[in-house]
Amino acid sequence: MIELKRILEKRNLPNVMMDQNSTVIKDDKMWANRRQEIVQLLGSQVYGFSPPAPSKVSPKLVREDKDAFAGKAVHSVIDLSFDTPRGEFSFPVNLIIPKAVSEAPLFLHIAFSPNVPDKYFPVEEIIDGGFAMASFYYEDITKDKDEFESGLAGMYSGENRKPDEWGKISMWAWSAQRVMDFIQTLEEVDKARIAVVGHSRLGKTALWCAAQDERFIMGISNESGCSGAAISRGKKGERIRDIVKTFPYWFCENYKEYVDNEENMPFDQHFLISAIAPRYVYVSSAIGDEWADPESEFLSCVAASDVYELFGVKGLVTEDRLPEVGTKLHEGRIGYHLRGGTHYLSRYDWQGFMEFMRRKLY
Ligand code: GCU
């Protein structure tokens, strides 16, 4: 990996394999502590800390179609509710269980739309692929706006957040964990094969969710870019300065310290991917998505791969060069593809996720 190492060196990244006391991580046991340290670091500096899980998540069936999608699946809508400091909160979840598969693997889709199916969510193709799905609409949790009163945000500290308290990416990620709590009770689903998937801001969310919660075997990020999969140091397109100006509420207040100050971050985004290791990660990029910066997304996968070696497995398996359009890397535990076209969660992307899941976990 001479060429890729040379390209990475220019980014001057902090070493994910060295902890805060400058101890080099040498084995999987040391990694378990280092992983905790990384989750704390990203919680305190980037996304903000979430409250503990509620003691109980209660499902209520709202409606059910036993012959959905040409009779191939059972589609139900379930309200999940739980206690918060300011009373009960609930949100709807779509659950789609294929009839042809028992104990199906499942994609938990953090969705941009309440519609099922949707342009970003080709449900029938995913059923045909042999997968179950759960999805929830992110704005059913809290508005994608700079305020902390709506929905879940208002149920906790509201506008009086501490500098390291959760921003909205953490709220959406935490809500995906509540869906995971519910999924644990389902017999039709294989609990060992649950992937969380999101596009763009919700791809950032999916990675942060999988980084924190080891019940997810895979985190899938589609074109998550800045503050998601992409390395921040030397990044093109969107920078921290841009994202905290337009979307300050996605993050904790502390993140603002790194505007035009990336070189002083005690982390970079390959830490986020590393926190999922040795579990599976999928990063998909589009060549026309310059705002997200495909090259910085790819380099993050390369930089996170060392951690997998501690477990005797491979992270990203790639030739020693930057990828071209059409590249699909499914060999190691970090899957990757680079497609043509622009910012979108396409059929091609879903096919990539399904192929990778099937190859690794079927
Ligand atoms: C904006 C934002 C990105 C984000 C994207 C999206 O472009 O700057 O960081 O990923 O929205 O969520 O579609």
Amino acid at 254: N
C-alpha dist (Å) from residue 304 to 36, 44, 114, 242, 343: 16, 21, 34, 25, 24
pLDDT for the residue numbered 270 = 98
**Res. 134: pLDDT tops 90:** yes
pTM value is: 0.99
**Residue minimizing CA distance to atom 12 of ligand 1:** 201
Label the pairing between strands 73-84 and 58-67: antiparallel
Nearest residue by C-alpha to atom 13 in ligand 1: 200
Q: Which residues have a Cβ under 8 Å from the Cβ of 135 and sit 6 or more positions away?
A: 93, 94, 108, 109, 110, 111, 116, 121
Quick check: 1 pLDDT over 90?
no
Tens-place pLDDT, residues 37-73: 999 999 999 999 999 999 999 999 999 999 999 999 9
pLDDT digits 0-9 by tens, 175-230: 999 999 999 999 999 999 999 999 999 999 999 999 999 999 999 999 999 999 99
Cβ of 176 closer than 6 Å to ligand 1, yes or no, is no
Whether the CB-CB separation of 162 and 170 falls below 8 Å is answered with no
Q: For 314-326, what is each residue's pLDDT tens digit?
A: 999 999 999 999 9
Number of H helices, E strands in the chain: 11, 10
Query: How many CB atoms are closer than 10 A to CB 169?
Result: 28
Tell me what pLDDT residue 362 has: 76
2 band by pLDDT with thresholds 50, 70 and 90: very high
For the Cβ of 225 lying below 6 angstroms from any atom of ligand 1, the answer is: yes
Phi and psi for 207 in degrees, rounded to 5?
A: -65, -45
Integer Cα distance of 241 and 260 in angstroms:
6
Atom of ligand 1 nearest to the CA of 204: 10
Residue 203 Cα: closest atom of ligand 1: 10
| CB of 175 shorter than 6 A to ligand 1 | no
Q: What is the pLDDT of residue 119?
A: 98
Which letter, b or e, does each residue of 48-71 get, where b requires 16 or more Cβ atoms within 10 Å of its Cβ? bbbbeebeebebeeeeeeeebbee
Sign of torsion over alpha carbons 99, 198, 179, 275? positive
Cross-strand pairs, 337:
284, 328
